């Protein structure tokens, strides 16, 4: 059995703005990561750093289809797929799926934590893109090694 973490949210912005909010390092660093070595685009690997961790994460196997799809690997066992759907009112549904790990107790814990993590990603993105609020700022400082 393959495990999958999922999250979904509607954002009151046009699909092009939401797509740009994910692939553009100047935007994604306002609500999700602290640093990015570049723009997410097909065939280009980048490195992300989160504010609460010293570790940098390689983002590989990047694929983008402007403005509706982004996928990448940041854990060799999984693939992240982000699908954007334009709605008639010019808002966007964002679906995040990460899957690939085999079922076991540790991986079940991973799936539950990542589902919450992706829900947090979407909430932070919504707050930033709709209201220019940075929800993530300081939210995970307690996780930093002292």
Q: Identify the band that residue 146 occupies on the pLDDT scale cut at 50, 70 and 90.
A: low
Q: Closest Cα partner for 28 from 59, 65, 6?
A: 59
Domain locations along the chain: 2-139
Superfamily of the domain at 2-139: START domain (3.30.530.20)
pLDDT tens digits, 5-17: 999 999 999 999 9
Please give the full DSSP string across 61-83, using - where no structure is assigned: EEEEETTTEEEEESSTT-EEEEE
State pLDDT tens for residues 43-93: 999 999 998 888 999 999 999 999 999 999 999 999 999 999 999 999 999
pLDDT score at 137: 78
The C-alpha atoms of residue 58 and residue 135 are separated, in whole angstroms, by 24
pTM: 0.94
pLDDT score at 145: 67
CA 144 to chain centre: 20
């Amino acid at each position: 059995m393959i495990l999958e973490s999922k999250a979904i949210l509607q954002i009151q912005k046009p699909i092009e703005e939401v797509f740009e909010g994910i692939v553009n390092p100047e935007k994604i660093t306002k609500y999700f990561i602290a640093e990015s070595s570049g723009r997410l685009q097909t065939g280009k690997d980048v490195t992300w750093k989160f504010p609460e961790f010293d570790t940098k994460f390689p983002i590989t196997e990047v694929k983008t289809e402007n403005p509706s799809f982004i996928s990448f690997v940041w854990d060799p066992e999984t693939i992240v797929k982000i699908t954007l759907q334009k709605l008639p009112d010019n808002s966007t549904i964002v679906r995040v799926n990460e899957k690939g790990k085999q079922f076991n107790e540790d991986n079940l814990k991973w799936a539950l934590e990542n589902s919450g993590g992706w829900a947090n990603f979407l909430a932070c993105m919504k707050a930033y893109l709709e209201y220019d609020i940075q929800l993530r700022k300081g939210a995970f400082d307690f996780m930093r090694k002292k």
